[in-house]
Amino acid sequence: MVFSDTIAQKYVDPAYENEVFRSRQHYKELHQHNPPQRRNRDFKPVNYGSFRGILNFKHAEPWAIFKNLKDIREEHHNHPIKWAKIFFGGAVAGVLLGYSWFVAKPQQTLPLRKLFQAAGERPWSGRYFRFYKNVLPQYAFYGGTLALSYQLVFDYLNHHETNGDRPRFVNHMIAVVLISTVVGGLMGGLPKYAFVGFFTSLLLTGPLSWWFLSTTSKFNQNQRPVNIFYENNITPEEVERIQQIDEVETLGIRLKNTSTYGYFVRDQKYL
């Protein structure tokens, strides 16, 4: 794949045309190629697949300095970071929902007595910490495992660009139905519970969770400004190139999320 668009940088030094001179003076090359799936010069150009995390050198500035740590919530391309955030978010949701269920569910006397005995009764001794330590970890593990399992299945279904013709709703339903069937079978211990998980997720849990994730998961997600930082010596051509890449990614997201995006809906010749 050949890309003809280049960036021509102006120079005033007559020796700048010499490649040895440019190399010794650490100048940029005259022509900056525009390879696909490359956010900036910190990453190597990769013109196949969807893996974009190959660093161009050992210590790239965005990953070696903590000044960009504030933007870690916007990181979506680095899989380990994305999976860690998904597990942490699922763990928080599991703690909130699990503790609500722990308070409301019917309790037996012996487990509660064991819990209060493990927490202790002496004031100012950390008894509430011991109480929550014996209650919350299991719900945090359940929530984090469910969220991470969903994300792993969803990433597997979208791991190659040739799967872009399948709607994201179908991949969401496959992930939810698969996880619900497995969890129902493991928790119930009988095939009928696996079928209950399959049937419930197919008709109820899957569509409702898709509506929740696509509409109410992030408040004002369409109005939130994007954080864009450029170097001081960046050229207008490079800014235009990065903006063009962002526009292509936006169109790709619309293509995946919108059914029949790009097709003729009302063609006048058929009227």
Position 15 in a domain: yes
Rounded to an integer, the average pLDDT of 128-139 is 88
Q: Is the pLDDT of residue 267 over 60?
A: no
DSSP assignment of 159-202 equals SSGGGGGS-HHHHHHHHHHHHHHHHHHHHH-SHHHHHHHHHHII
Q: Is the pLDDT of residue 42 over 70?
A: no
**What's the domain range around 62?**
11-77
In this prediction, residue 51 has a pLDDT band, given cuts at 50, 70 and 90, of: very low
* Residue 189 region by backbone torsions, left for phi larger than 0, else alpha for psi between -120 and 50, else beta: left
Final residue belonging to a domain, choices 166, 183, 216: 216
Position 34 in a domain: yes
- Indicate whether 110 and 204 sit together in one domain: yes
Identify the residue with better confidence: 132 or 218.
132
Q: Is the pLDDT of residue 19 over 60?
A: yes
Rounded to an integer, the average pLDDT of 117-122 is 83
- Indicate whether 72 and 84 sit together in one domain: no
- Indicate whether 67 and 89 sit together in one domain: no
Predicted local confidence at residue 126, as pLDDT: 82
- Indicate whether 151 and 202 sit together in one domain: yes
- Indicate whether 91 and 52 sit together in one domain: no
Locate all alpha helices (DSSP H) within 72-165, ordered by sequence. 79-104, 109-119, 127-157
Residue 207 tokens read as 């569509």
Predicted local confidence at residue 50, as pLDDT: 41
- Indicate whether 193 and 88 sit together in one domain: yes
CA distance 115 to 126: 14
Position 48 in a domain: yes
Give the end-to-end CA distance of the chain in Å, rounded to a whole number. Answer: 41
Q: Is the pLDDT of residue 262 over 60?
A: yes
Summarised one tens digit per residue, pLDDT across range 168-182 is 888 899 999 999 999
Domain count, the chain: 2
The structure tokens 């996880």 sit at 179
Identify the residue with better confidence: 67 or 242.
242
Cβ–Cβ under 8 Å, residues 223 and 185:
no
Q: Chain centroid to CA 140: how far?
A: 20
- Indicate whether 196 and 106 sit together in one domain: yes
- Indicate whether 41 and 90 sit together in one domain: no
Rounded to two decimals, what is the model's pTM? 0.55
Predicted local confidence at residue 151, as pLDDT: 92
Predicted local confidence at residue 211, as pLDDT: 86
CA distance 171 to 265: 25
In this prediction, residue 48 has a pLDDT band, given cuts at 50, 70 and 90, of: very low
Final residue belonging to a domain, choices 39, 62, 77: 77
Identify the residue with better confidence: 104 or 196.
196
Q: Is the pLDDT of residue 38 over 80?
A: no
- Indicate whether 56 and 93 sit together in one domain: no
Q: Is the pLDDT of residue 221 over 70?
A: no
In this prediction, residue 132 has a pLDDT band, given cuts at 50, 70 and 90, of: confident
196: exposed, middle or buried (Cβ count in 10 Å: 0-12, 13-18, 19+): middle
Position 222 in a domain: no
Identify the residue with better confidence: 30 or 84.
84
Position 267 in a domain: no
CA distance 27 to 118: 66
Lowest mean pLDDT, pick from 14-18, 36-40, 110-114: 36-40
- Indicate whether 85 and 202 sit together in one domain: yes
Identify the residue with better confidence: 51 or 137.
137
- Indicate whether 112 and 166 sit together in one domain: yes
- Indicate whether 125 and 194 sit together in one domain: yes
